[in-house]
Amino acid sequence: MSSLIFMLFFALSFSVSTGSQRGILRVISGKDGEKPDFAVELNATNFDSVLKETPAPYAIVEFFAHWCPACRNYKPQYEKVARLFNGPDASHPGIILMTRVDCALSINSNLCDKFSVKYYPMLLWGPPKKFVGNGWDPKQENSEILAVEKGRTADILLGWINKQLGSSYGFGDGKYENEHLQRNSSDPAQIARGIYDVEEATSTAFGIILDQKMINSGTRASLIKFLQLLVAHHPSKRCRKGSADILVDFDNLCPSEIWSANNEEVDICSKKGALGNYQICGKEVPRGYWMYCRGSKNDTRGFSCGLWVLLHSLTVRVEDGESNLAFRTTCDFVYHFFVCEECRQHFHDMCTSVSSPFKKARDYALWLWSAHNKVNERLMKDEESPGTGDPEFPKVIWPPKQLCPSCYLNPGKTSDENSKIDWNKDEVFKFLVSYYGKELVNLYEDVKELQAGGSTQKTVNEELVASTDAVVVPLGAALAIAVASCAFGALACFWRSQQKNRKPRRSWN
């Protein structure tokens, strides 16, 4: 029986990844007053994985040698450009991943040879995935990888980039702010950018749990169940894999018996313990910025928006047989781990008002949609007097008529009482499934929208598109382990089996 469950788990393709196999799209913090590096340092062990996983449609790779005086002198020039595109304070994040490879290190010798590096510094430009598994030959015709021949100063390099993209970026550009906001609520394709924010929200939530030391004897089981839900149904493949990594090792990382022992050991379940070394969505997340969920002010939207998108995306992915379990898991997670006390209690009240179990995924999805609208109604009133709402994104009843006219039984009707809207719930459910399912991961976006008017080709982030494949549990395996034929139940059963098998082994250590 246990071997069957083991095979089922790995059939879901949740392979355990090491840190070196994941992206590193974050600022490398400087120490002792040093300025941070914005260009990402790559080497032969992470070159392919970082470039494969980045959401940026373009990358620049600088091949250099640390002993080269010209390279040392060029670094400040390159960094000046890199800070426009990389890091939490970037003016234009998510467009170009700027990286560096030190060819003087023996580990990178073959990598640099593969890209025909004959001088330092040498810069190559192209779609990130074109660097993966391939090399570059300067004699090659029609290659999408181009040598940056004229980039010896920051001004010249940025000018070259602007020419390639048809853009007008400048060093005086401010942090990615209001000019990039998506104001057209009638454009359903905007949610495609939400996949990045779902990853950001997942990572942020996990970080808050560790930072605030929120895992204890009363919350531990709730977190385990939510991790099982994420492993089965998170819309991002890298977050499913990261959640699986944590779940498989969780009993060793945060054993339940520590609360019956010395209280000083409780830190083991916080950021100070081994659990703090795990990145639930990979090392590149959090990236430090929001896309679909960016507000016009620093204290609006962002994390709360990303968390709502995550919860909606889960409701449209669960099966009928697991809908009530997913509902209870979500309610418990928000109750135990959402740090806004008023919001947490309001959500808990809505959860406890549900009198009968959900039997259909449709009912669960519509309940969360209704709950979200109730929250928006409450916040409309709360924010009106003090003016604390986002002026560019006022709270509205969702979805608006422009986005889903068929969701309204009387589209032409106007009413001051939002609660009196006559909804066509069948159409609302279809909208939710499309918007938070297919549209959420539809990455056939025109990159020039991200570049504030730049003219570029359309690109597809293959990693995230692949991550949308539904998790399918073989029917025979599901019957064999006597659980519902759904990934959530199978993974829960697998995890319990693994932990039971681990405890005797640990006692021998």
For residue 298, the surrounding DSSP H or E stretch is none
Q: DSSP assignment, residue 13?
A: T
3-state per-residue secondary structure call for 182-243 = CCCCCCHHHHHHHHHHHHHHHHHHHHHHHHCCCCCCCCHHHHHHHHHHHHHHCCCHHHHHHH
Query: What is the sign, positive or negative, of the torsion defined by CA atoms of 153, 155, 156, 160?
Result: positive
Rounded CA separation 187/455 (Å): 20
Do the Cβ atoms of 483 and 493 come closer than 8 Å? yes
Contacts of 289 (CB under 8 A, 6+ apart): 88, 90, 93, 94, 176, 200
Contacts of 234 (CB under 8 A, 6+ apart): 198, 202, 240, 243, 310, 313, 314
Contacts of 239 (CB under 8 A, 6+ apart): 198, 199, 202, 230, 280, 281, 282
Contacts of 366 (CB under 8 A, 6+ apart): 425, 428, 429, 432
Rounded CA separation 236/497 (Å): 26
Query: What is the sign, positive or negative, of the torsion defined by CA atoms of 201, 204, 208, 214?
Result: positive
Contacts of 5 (CB under 8 A, 6+ apart): 481, 490, 493, 494, 497
Omega before 399 within 30 of 0, i.e. cis? yes
CA distances from 335 to 107, 329, 351, 471 (A): 48, 10, 10, 27
Rounded CA separation 170/148 (Å): 19
- With CA atoms as reference, report the closest residue to 184 among 400, 373, 389, 384: 400
Rounded CA separation 180/134 (Å): 34
Which active-site residues does the annotation give? Answer: 68, 71
Do the Cβ atoms of 128 and 88 come closer than 8 Å? no
Do the Cβ atoms of 354 and 367 come closer than 8 Å? yes
